[in-house]
Chain A
Amino acid sequence: MGFRESHFPSGLEVHKRNSPCPTFTIHIEIALWETLSKGKQKVSLSAFAFLFSELVQYNQTQVDNIAELERRLEDAGYAVGARVLELLCHREKGNRRETRLLGILSFIHSTVWKVLFGKVADSLEKGTEHEDEYMNSEKELLVNRFISIPKDMGAFNCGAFVAGIVKGVLDNAGFPAVVTAHFVPVDGQQRPRTTILIKFVEEVLLREARLG
Protein backbone atom coordinates (compact mmCIF):
# COMPACT_ATOMS: atom_id res chain seq x y z
CA MET A 1 0.00 0.00 0.00
CA GLY A 2 2.92 2.33 -0.48
CA PHE A 3 3.37 4.92 2.18
CA ARG A 4 -0.16 5.37 3.29
CA GLU A 5 -0.82 5.66 6.94
CA SER A 6 -2.80 2.84 8.41
CA HIS A 7 -6.06 4.36 9.42
CA PHE A 8 -8.96 6.53 8.36
CA PRO A 9 -9.10 10.26 8.66
CA SER A 10 -11.31 11.65 11.37
CA GLY A 11 -11.43 8.61 13.58
CA LEU A 12 -13.44 6.56 11.13
CA GLU A 13 -12.43 3.38 12.89
CA VAL A 14 -14.33 4.31 16.02
CA HIS A 15 -17.37 2.74 14.51
CA LYS A 16 -15.92 -0.58 13.50
CA ARG A 17 -17.18 -2.87 16.19
CA ASN A 18 -16.09 -6.23 14.90
CA SER A 19 -12.71 -5.39 13.55
CA PRO A 20 -9.56 -5.17 15.60
CA CYS A 21 -9.49 -1.48 16.24
CA PRO A 22 -6.59 0.17 14.42
CA THR A 23 -4.68 2.29 16.86
CA PHE A 24 -3.85 5.92 16.55
CA THR A 25 -0.13 5.21 16.64
CA ILE A 26 1.63 6.46 13.60
CA HIS A 27 4.60 4.37 12.64
CA ILE A 28 6.17 6.49 10.01
CA GLU A 29 9.08 8.80 10.34
CA ILE A 30 8.46 12.47 10.56
CA ALA A 31 10.44 13.40 7.50
CA LEU A 32 8.44 10.97 5.46
CA TRP A 33 5.27 12.24 7.04
CA GLU A 34 6.09 15.73 5.81
CA THR A 35 6.09 14.60 2.22
CA LEU A 36 3.08 12.38 2.71
CA SER A 37 0.87 14.85 4.35
CA LYS A 38 1.06 17.36 1.53
CA GLY A 39 0.50 20.27 3.83
CA LYS A 40 0.75 22.61 0.90
CA GLN A 41 -1.80 20.99 -1.36
CA LYS A 42 -4.92 23.01 -1.98
CA VAL A 43 -8.46 22.54 -3.18
CA SER A 44 -10.81 25.34 -4.09
CA LEU A 45 -12.72 26.98 -1.30
CA SER A 46 -15.91 26.21 -3.23
CA ALA A 47 -15.19 22.49 -3.18
CA PHE A 48 -15.05 22.74 0.59
CA ALA A 49 -18.15 24.97 0.68
CA PHE A 50 -20.15 22.43 -1.33
CA LEU A 51 -18.97 19.54 0.81
CA PHE A 52 -19.80 21.46 3.95
CA SER A 53 -23.24 22.29 2.54
CA GLU A 54 -23.92 18.60 2.15
CA LEU A 55 -22.78 17.92 5.68
CA VAL A 56 -25.28 20.52 6.88
CA GLN A 57 -28.09 19.39 4.58
CA TYR A 58 -27.65 15.73 5.43
CA ASN A 59 -27.66 16.44 9.14
CA GLN A 60 -30.76 18.58 8.77
CA THR A 61 -32.57 15.43 7.66
CA GLN A 62 -31.44 13.62 10.83
CA VAL A 63 -32.72 16.08 13.43
CA ASP A 64 -35.82 17.98 14.36
CA ASN A 65 -34.39 21.03 16.04
CA ILE A 66 -31.54 23.48 15.70
CA ALA A 67 -29.79 22.44 18.91
CA GLU A 68 -29.61 18.86 17.71
CA LEU A 69 -28.31 19.98 14.31
CA GLU A 70 -25.56 21.97 15.99
CA ARG A 71 -24.69 19.00 18.18
CA ARG A 72 -24.28 16.77 15.13
CA LEU A 73 -22.12 19.33 13.35
CA GLU A 74 -20.05 19.54 16.50
CA ASP A 75 -19.62 15.75 16.45
CA ALA A 76 -18.41 15.86 12.86
CA GLY A 77 -16.01 18.67 13.75
CA TYR A 78 -14.74 16.73 16.77
CA ALA A 79 -13.49 13.94 14.51
CA VAL A 80 -11.67 16.49 12.36
CA GLY A 81 -10.12 18.12 15.43
CA ALA A 82 -8.82 14.82 16.78
CA ARG A 83 -7.08 14.10 13.48
CA VAL A 84 -5.73 17.60 13.07
CA LEU A 85 -4.07 17.33 16.45
CA GLU A 86 -2.33 14.12 15.44
CA LEU A 87 -1.19 15.52 12.14
CA LEU A 88 0.18 18.67 13.66
CA CYS A 89 1.83 17.04 16.63
CA HIS A 90 3.93 15.03 14.27
CA ARG A 91 4.51 17.61 11.63
CA GLU A 92 4.95 20.85 13.50
CA LYS A 93 5.86 19.91 17.00
CA GLY A 94 8.10 16.88 16.63
CA ASN A 95 5.68 14.80 18.65
CA ARG A 96 5.77 17.15 21.59
CA ARG A 97 2.40 17.90 23.14
CA GLU A 98 1.34 21.01 24.96
CA THR A 99 0.91 20.60 28.68
CA ARG A 100 0.02 24.15 29.65
CA LEU A 101 -3.27 25.92 29.18
CA LEU A 102 -1.95 28.98 27.40
CA GLY A 103 0.25 26.79 25.25
CA ILE A 104 -2.64 24.74 23.94
CA LEU A 105 -4.79 27.85 23.44
CA SER A 106 -2.15 29.57 21.40
CA PHE A 107 -1.58 26.33 19.48
CA ILE A 108 -5.24 26.42 18.48
CA HIS A 109 -5.32 30.14 17.82
CA SER A 110 -2.29 30.07 15.57
CA THR A 111 -1.14 26.65 14.36
CA VAL A 112 -4.47 24.89 14.05
CA TRP A 113 -6.16 27.95 12.58
CA LYS A 114 -3.40 28.43 10.04
CA VAL A 115 -3.59 24.87 8.83
CA LEU A 116 -7.35 24.81 8.62
CA PHE A 117 -8.19 28.35 7.62
CA GLY A 118 -4.96 29.72 6.21
CA LYS A 119 -4.56 32.42 8.87
CA VAL A 120 -4.26 32.86 12.60
CA ALA A 121 -7.53 33.62 14.39
CA ASP A 122 -8.43 37.28 14.70
CA SER A 123 -8.32 37.29 18.46
CA LEU A 124 -7.89 35.15 21.55
CA GLU A 125 -9.22 36.60 24.78
CA LYS A 126 -9.78 35.49 28.33
CA GLY A 127 -13.34 35.85 29.61
CA THR A 128 -13.68 38.78 31.95
CA GLU A 129 -16.42 37.29 34.05
CA HIS A 130 -15.33 33.68 34.33
CA GLU A 131 -11.84 32.45 35.05
CA ASP A 132 -12.37 29.24 33.06
CA GLU A 133 -13.53 30.85 29.81
CA TYR A 134 -11.56 31.78 26.74
CA MET A 135 -12.78 33.20 23.46
CA ASN A 136 -11.29 32.61 20.06
CA SER A 137 -12.92 35.01 17.62
CA GLU A 138 -13.03 35.35 13.88
CA LYS A 139 -14.52 38.22 11.92
CA GLU A 140 -15.58 35.91 9.14
CA LEU A 141 -15.33 32.25 10.00
CA LEU A 142 -14.86 30.13 6.88
CA VAL A 143 -17.95 28.01 7.46
CA ASN A 144 -20.15 31.06 7.99
CA ARG A 145 -18.82 32.83 4.95
CA PHE A 146 -21.50 31.70 2.54
CA ILE A 147 -24.33 31.57 4.93
CA SER A 148 -27.36 33.79 5.14
CA ILE A 149 -29.70 32.39 7.74
CA PRO A 150 -33.42 32.51 7.05
CA LYS A 151 -35.50 33.91 9.86
CA ASP A 152 -37.06 30.58 10.80
CA MET A 153 -33.68 29.12 11.73
CA GLY A 154 -33.08 31.72 14.40
CA ALA A 155 -29.72 31.47 16.07
CA PHE A 156 -28.37 28.53 14.08
CA ASN A 157 -24.60 28.78 13.78
CA CYS A 158 -22.53 26.62 11.41
CA GLY A 159 -19.63 27.54 13.65
CA ALA A 160 -20.72 24.54 15.77
CA PHE A 161 -18.58 22.51 13.36
CA VAL A 162 -15.53 24.59 14.22
CA ALA A 163 -16.42 24.47 17.92
CA GLY A 164 -16.33 20.68 17.47
CA ILE A 165 -12.89 20.86 15.88
CA VAL A 166 -11.59 22.91 18.81
CA LYS A 167 -13.15 20.49 21.27
CA GLY A 168 -11.60 17.57 19.40
CA VAL A 169 -8.16 19.13 19.65
CA LEU A 170 -8.55 20.06 23.32
CA ASP A 171 -10.01 16.75 24.50
CA ASN A 172 -7.37 14.70 22.77
CA ALA A 173 -4.60 16.91 24.07
CA GLY A 174 -5.87 16.34 27.61
CA PHE A 175 -7.73 19.63 28.09
CA PRO A 176 -11.41 18.66 28.16
CA ALA A 177 -13.71 21.62 27.69
CA VAL A 178 -17.19 22.62 26.62
CA VAL A 179 -16.90 24.52 23.37
CA THR A 180 -19.68 26.52 21.72
CA ALA A 181 -20.01 28.92 18.80
CA HIS A 182 -21.76 32.28 19.04
CA PHE A 183 -22.53 35.20 16.77
CA VAL A 184 -21.43 38.47 18.29
CA PRO A 185 -22.60 41.72 16.67
CA VAL A 186 -19.83 44.15 15.79
CA ASP A 187 -20.36 47.90 15.80
CA GLY A 188 -20.57 49.33 12.32
CA GLN A 189 -20.53 45.91 10.65
CA GLN A 190 -23.44 44.35 8.84
CA ARG A 191 -22.36 40.83 9.72
CA PRO A 192 -21.59 39.55 13.20
CA ARG A 193 -18.29 37.91 14.05
CA THR A 194 -18.15 34.34 15.30
CA THR A 195 -16.77 33.63 18.74
CA ILE A 196 -15.74 30.15 19.78
CA LEU A 197 -16.24 30.03 23.52
CA ILE A 198 -14.05 27.56 25.39
CA LYS A 199 -15.02 26.65 28.94
CA PHE A 200 -12.52 24.26 30.52
CA VAL A 201 -13.63 21.63 32.98
CA GLU A 202 -12.59 22.13 36.56
CA GLU A 203 -9.82 19.53 36.69
CA VAL A 204 -7.97 21.28 33.89
CA LEU A 205 -7.85 24.49 35.89
CA LEU A 206 -6.83 22.68 39.06
CA ARG A 207 -3.98 20.94 37.25
CA GLU A 208 -2.90 24.22 35.73
CA ALA A 209 -2.86 25.81 39.19
CA ARG A 210 -0.71 22.97 40.50
CA LEU A 211 1.79 23.49 37.70
CA GLY A 212 2.08 27.04 38.92
Chain B
Amino acid sequence: MAPAAPKSGDAIFASVDRVNAELFTLTYGAIVRQLLTDLEEVDEVNKQLDQMGYNIGVRLVDEFLAKSNVSRCVDFRETAEVIAKVGFKMFLGVTASVTNWDTEGTTCSLIMEDNPLVDFVELPDTCQGLHYCNILSGVVRGALEMVSMKTEVTWLRDMLKGDDVFELQVKLLKQIPEEYPYKDDE
Protein backbone atom coordinates (compact mmCIF):
# COMPACT_ATOMS: atom_id res chain seq x y z
CA MET B 1 0.00 0.00 0.00
CA ALA B 2 1.66 3.21 -1.16
CA PRO B 3 1.10 6.18 1.11
CA ALA B 4 -1.52 8.57 -0.24
CA ALA B 5 -0.01 11.57 -2.00
CA PRO B 6 -0.15 14.90 -0.17
CA LYS B 7 -3.07 17.03 -1.26
CA SER B 8 -2.94 20.60 -2.53
CA GLY B 9 -4.19 23.49 -0.43
CA ASP B 10 -6.84 24.34 -3.03
CA ALA B 11 -8.17 20.79 -3.07
CA ILE B 12 -8.43 20.66 0.70
CA PHE B 13 -9.98 24.11 1.01
CA ALA B 14 -12.58 23.13 -1.58
CA SER B 15 -13.47 20.00 0.37
CA VAL B 16 -13.78 21.37 3.90
CA ASP B 17 -16.71 23.21 5.46
CA ARG B 18 -16.26 26.95 5.26
CA VAL B 19 -17.74 29.94 7.01
CA ASN B 20 -18.09 33.55 6.02
CA ALA B 21 -14.78 35.24 6.78
CA GLU B 22 -16.65 38.08 8.49
CA LEU B 23 -17.72 35.85 11.36
CA PHE B 24 -14.08 34.91 11.80
CA THR B 25 -12.77 38.46 11.47
CA LEU B 26 -15.30 39.96 13.85
CA THR B 27 -14.83 37.19 16.41
CA TYR B 28 -11.12 37.80 16.32
CA GLY B 29 -11.77 41.52 16.79
CA ALA B 30 -13.92 40.71 19.81
CA ILE B 31 -11.09 38.64 21.28
CA VAL B 32 -8.57 41.46 20.84
CA ARG B 33 -11.01 43.89 22.38
CA GLN B 34 -11.57 41.61 25.35
CA LEU B 35 -7.82 41.28 25.89
CA LEU B 36 -7.28 45.04 25.69
CA THR B 37 -9.96 45.49 28.33
CA ASP B 38 -8.64 42.72 30.59
CA LEU B 39 -4.91 43.27 30.28
CA GLU B 40 -4.68 47.00 29.49
CA GLU B 41 -0.98 46.86 28.52
CA VAL B 42 -0.41 46.40 24.81
CA ASP B 43 2.66 44.23 25.46
CA GLU B 44 0.61 41.90 27.58
CA VAL B 45 -2.00 41.68 24.85
CA ASN B 46 0.71 40.80 22.32
CA LYS B 47 1.93 38.07 24.63
CA GLN B 48 -1.55 36.67 25.21
CA LEU B 49 -2.37 36.68 21.49
CA ASP B 50 0.86 34.81 20.82
CA GLN B 51 -0.01 32.29 23.52
CA MET B 52 -3.50 31.78 22.12
CA GLY B 53 -2.03 31.25 18.69
CA TYR B 54 0.44 28.76 20.10
CA ASN B 55 -2.42 26.84 21.71
CA ILE B 56 -4.26 26.83 18.40
CA GLY B 57 -1.15 25.65 16.53
CA VAL B 58 -0.75 22.75 18.91
CA ARG B 59 -4.25 21.55 18.02
CA LEU B 60 -4.50 22.61 14.44
CA VAL B 61 -1.40 20.69 13.37
CA ASP B 62 -3.29 17.42 13.75
CA GLU B 63 -6.11 18.51 11.52
CA PHE B 64 -3.58 19.76 9.02
CA LEU B 65 -1.75 16.44 9.01
CA ALA B 66 -4.93 14.38 8.89
CA LYS B 67 -6.39 16.29 5.96
CA SER B 68 -3.26 16.97 3.93
CA ASN B 69 -1.75 13.47 4.01
CA VAL B 70 1.59 15.01 4.87
CA SER B 71 3.36 12.13 6.55
CA ARG B 72 6.67 13.69 7.43
CA CYS B 73 7.95 17.12 8.37
CA VAL B 74 11.68 16.66 8.65
CA ASP B 75 13.11 19.15 6.18
CA PHE B 76 12.59 22.78 7.24
CA ARG B 77 12.56 24.16 3.70
CA GLU B 78 9.95 21.70 2.58
CA THR B 79 7.91 22.32 5.72
CA ALA B 80 7.91 26.11 5.25
CA GLU B 81 6.59 25.68 1.70
CA VAL B 82 3.87 23.33 2.88
CA ILE B 83 2.76 25.77 5.59
CA ALA B 84 2.56 28.65 3.15
CA LYS B 85 0.87 26.80 0.30
CA VAL B 86 -1.24 24.19 2.06
CA GLY B 87 -1.59 25.25 5.70
CA PHE B 88 -2.56 28.89 5.13
CA LYS B 89 -4.85 27.98 2.28
CA MET B 90 -6.62 25.18 4.08
CA PHE B 91 -7.52 27.26 7.12
CA LEU B 92 -7.61 30.89 6.00
CA GLY B 93 -8.35 30.48 2.31
CA VAL B 94 -5.27 32.52 1.32
CA THR B 95 -1.73 31.48 0.50
CA ALA B 96 1.57 32.98 1.53
CA SER B 97 4.85 32.96 -0.35
CA VAL B 98 8.18 31.90 1.08
CA THR B 99 11.19 34.12 0.44
CA ASN B 100 14.30 35.63 1.98
CA TRP B 101 16.03 32.35 2.81
CA ASP B 102 19.32 32.79 4.57
CA THR B 103 22.34 30.81 3.39
CA GLU B 104 22.02 28.13 6.08
CA GLY B 105 18.43 27.48 5.12
CA THR B 106 17.19 28.03 8.66
CA THR B 107 15.50 31.43 8.33
CA CYS B 108 12.85 32.49 5.86
CA SER B 109 9.93 34.85 5.51
CA LEU B 110 6.29 34.11 4.88
CA ILE B 111 4.72 36.94 2.90
CA MET B 112 0.98 37.56 2.95
CA GLU B 113 -0.85 40.15 0.92
CA ASP B 114 -4.29 39.04 1.94
CA ASN B 115 -5.06 38.43 5.58
CA PRO B 116 -8.61 37.74 6.74
CA LEU B 117 -7.77 38.73 10.31
CA VAL B 118 -7.43 42.40 9.51
CA ASP B 119 -10.41 43.30 7.34
CA PHE B 120 -11.97 46.53 8.64
CA VAL B 121 -9.10 47.16 11.07
CA GLU B 122 -7.06 50.29 11.55
CA LEU B 123 -4.90 50.79 14.60
CA PRO B 124 -5.59 53.89 16.66
CA ASP B 125 -2.54 55.84 17.88
CA THR B 126 -2.71 54.37 21.35
CA CYS B 127 -2.34 50.87 19.95
CA GLN B 128 0.70 51.38 17.76
CA GLY B 129 2.63 48.79 19.74
CA LEU B 130 -0.07 46.19 19.18
CA HIS B 131 0.80 43.29 16.91
CA TYR B 132 -2.77 42.79 15.85
CA CYS B 133 -2.02 39.53 14.02
CA ASN B 134 0.18 38.08 16.73
CA ILE B 135 -2.12 35.11 17.01
CA LEU B 136 -0.88 34.01 13.60
CA SER B 137 2.78 33.95 14.57
CA GLY B 138 1.79 31.92 17.61
CA VAL B 139 -0.05 29.41 15.43
CA VAL B 140 2.99 28.91 13.21
CA ARG B 141 5.27 28.50 16.21
CA GLY B 142 2.92 26.07 17.99
CA ALA B 143 2.30 23.92 14.94
CA LEU B 144 6.01 23.70 14.13
CA GLU B 145 6.88 22.78 17.67
CA MET B 146 4.51 19.83 17.45
CA VAL B 147 6.47 18.55 14.46
CA SER B 148 9.69 18.86 16.45
CA MET B 149 10.84 22.23 15.14
CA LYS B 150 11.54 24.86 17.74
CA THR B 151 11.27 28.26 16.05
CA GLU B 152 11.28 31.97 16.67
CA VAL B 153 8.59 33.79 14.73
CA THR B 154 8.66 37.58 14.31
CA TRP B 155 6.65 40.16 12.39
CA LEU B 156 8.92 42.16 10.08
CA ARG B 157 6.27 43.98 8.09
CA ASP B 158 2.68 44.77 8.98
CA MET B 159 0.10 46.33 6.65
CA LEU B 160 -1.65 47.84 9.65
CA LYS B 161 1.50 49.85 10.23
CA GLY B 162 1.70 51.07 6.68
CA ASP B 163 3.79 48.32 5.08
CA ASP B 164 2.74 46.92 1.75
CA VAL B 165 2.56 43.30 2.90
CA PHE B 166 2.61 41.17 6.02
CA GLU B 167 5.98 39.55 6.51
CA LEU B 168 6.47 36.87 9.11
CA GLN B 169 10.02 35.75 9.73
CA VAL B 170 10.43 32.14 10.82
CA LYS B 171 13.75 31.12 12.27
CA LEU B 172 14.51 27.48 13.03
CA LEU B 173 16.32 27.25 16.36
CA LYS B 174 16.62 23.48 16.60
CA GLN B 175 14.93 20.23 15.79
CA ILE B 176 14.10 18.26 18.86
CA PRO B 177 13.97 14.50 18.62
CA GLU B 178 11.44 12.69 20.69
CA GLU B 179 12.63 11.76 24.13
CA TYR B 180 11.74 8.77 26.18
CA PRO B 181 9.43 10.46 28.67
CA TYR B 182 9.77 8.09 31.62
CA LYS B 183 12.68 7.69 33.98
CA ASP B 184 13.92 4.14 34.42
CA ASP B 185 13.12 3.95 38.10
CA GLU B 186 9.60 5.27 37.76
Contacts and interface: CB of A to CB of B under 8 A. Distances in A.
Contacts of A18: 126
Nearest to A50: B56
Interface in A48-83: 48, 50-55, 57-59, 62, 72, 75-77, 79-80, 83
B19 A76 contact: no
A7 interface: yes
Given A8-B120, A15-B37, A54-B55, A42 B19 contact: yes
Interface of A: 1, 4-16, 18-19, 22, 37-39, 41-48, 50-55, 57-59, 62, 72, 75-77, 79-80, 83-84, 87, 115-118, 142
A10 B120 CA distance: 10
Nearest to B54: A54
Interface of B: 13, 16-38, 48, 52, 55-56, 59-60, 63, 90-93, 116, 119-122, 124-127, 135, 162
A41 B28 contact: no
A41 B28 CA distance: 16
A14 B27 contact: no
Contacts of B24: 43, 47-48, 51
The 7 A-B pairs of least Cβ separation, nearest first, read A9-B29, A10-B29, A42-B18, A45-B17, A47-B91, A10-B30, A41-B21
B93 A19 contact: no
